[in-house]
A and B are shown apart, each in its own frame.
Chain A
Amino acid sequence: MILEKDVVIIGAGPAGLAAAVELAKNGVKDIVVIEREPFAGGILNQCIHDGFGVIKFNEVLTGPEYAQRYIDEAEKLGVEIMTSSMAIDINRDKEVTVIGSKGIIVFKAKAVILAMGCRERTRGAIGIPGTRPAGIFTAGVAQNFVNVKNIMIGKRIVILGSGDIGLIMARRLTLEGAEVIAVVEKMPYSNGLARNVTQCLEDYGIPLLLSHTVVNIEGRERLKSVTVAKVDDKGEPIRGTSKKFDCDTLILSVGLIPENELTKDAGIDMDEVTQGALVDENLQTSIEGVFACGNVLHVHDLVDHVSNEAEKAAKSVLRYLETKCENGQRVKVKAGKGIRYVIPHTISGKKDVTFSMRVDRQWTDIKLTFLNGSNPIKSFKYKKLNPSEMVVVNLKASELKDVESLEVAIDED
Chain B
Amino acid sequence: MKIEKEMTCIVCPNGCRLEIIYEDTLTVKNALCPKGVEYARNELMNPVRYLTSTVRVSGGVLPLVSVRSNKPVPKDKLIEIVQFLKNIELKAPVHFHQLVCKDVLGTGADIVATRKVIKK
Contacts and interface: CB of A to CB of B under 8 A. Distances in A.
Quick check: do A and B touch in the complex, using CB within 8 A? yes
Interface of A: 38, 45, 48-51, 54, 60, 62-65, 67-68, 147-150, 174-177, 193-195, 197-199, 203, 302
Contact of A68 (B7, B8, B75, B96): B96
A177 B67 CA distance: 17
Contacts of B61: 38
17 contacts: A38-B61, A45-B115, A48-B67, A48-B68, A50-B52, A63-B66, A64-B114, A65-B115, A67-B115, A148-B62, A175-B82, A195-B8, A195-B11, A195-B13, A195-B15, A198-B8, A198-B15
A50 B54 CA distance: 13
A147 B54 contact: yes
B3 interface: no
A32 B19 CA distance: 51
B79 interface: yes
A54 B32 CA distance: 14
A195 B54 CA distance: 22
Nearest to A199: B10
Given A48-B67, A65-B114, A150-B54, 13 more contacts: A38-B61, A48-B52, A50-B68, A54-B13, A67-B115, A147-B54, A149-B64, A175-B53, A195-B10, A195-B11, A195-B15, A203-B75, A302-B13
Nearest to B14: A195
Contacts of A194: 8, 15, 17
A75 B64 CA distance: 23
A198 B13 CA distance: 12
Given A45-B115, A64-B114, A199 B54 contact: no
Contacts of B79: 174-175
Nearest to A175: B82
A50 B50 contact: yes
Interface in B1-31: 7-13, 15, 17
Nearest to B76: A203
Interface residues of B, number: 31
A198 B8 CA distance: 7
Contacts of B90: none
B96 A62 contact: no
Contacts of A175: 53, 78-79, 82
Nearest to B118: A39
B40 to A, nearest CB: 12
B49 interface: yes
A177 B80 CA distance: 10
Contacts of B83: 177
Contacts of A49: 52
Given A38-B61, A147-B64, A150-B56, A197 B8 contact: yes
A173 to B, nearest CB: 11
A147 B53 CA distance: 8
A176 B82 contact: yes
A65 B56 CA distance: 18
Interface string B59-103: 001111011100000010011001100000000000010000000
A299 to B, nearest CB: 16
Contacts of B56: 150
B12 A54 contact: yes
B7 A48 contact: no
Contacts of A195: 8-13, 15
Given A148-B64, A149-B63, A150-B64, A68 B115 contact: yes
Contact of A150 (B17, B49, B63, B96): B63
Contacts of B10: 195, 198-199
B45 to A, nearest CB: 16
A228 to B, nearest CB: 25
Contacts of A198: 7-8, 10, 15
A147 B96 contact: no
Contacts of A63: 66
A45 B62 CA distance: 11
A80 B62 CA distance: 22
User: Nearest 4 CB-CB pairs, A to B?
Assistant: A194-B15, A48-B66, A64-B115, A195-B10
A203 B82 CA distance: 15
Contacts of B96: 68
A391 B94 CA distance: 39
B66 A64 contact: yes
B38 to A, nearest CB: 14
A193 to B, nearest CB: 5
Specify which of A48, A60, A147, A199 lies most central, judged by the most chain B CB atoms within 10 Å of its CB: A48
Contacts of B8: 194-195, 197-198
A116 B104 CA distance: 39
Nearest to B47: A203
A193 B13 contact: yes
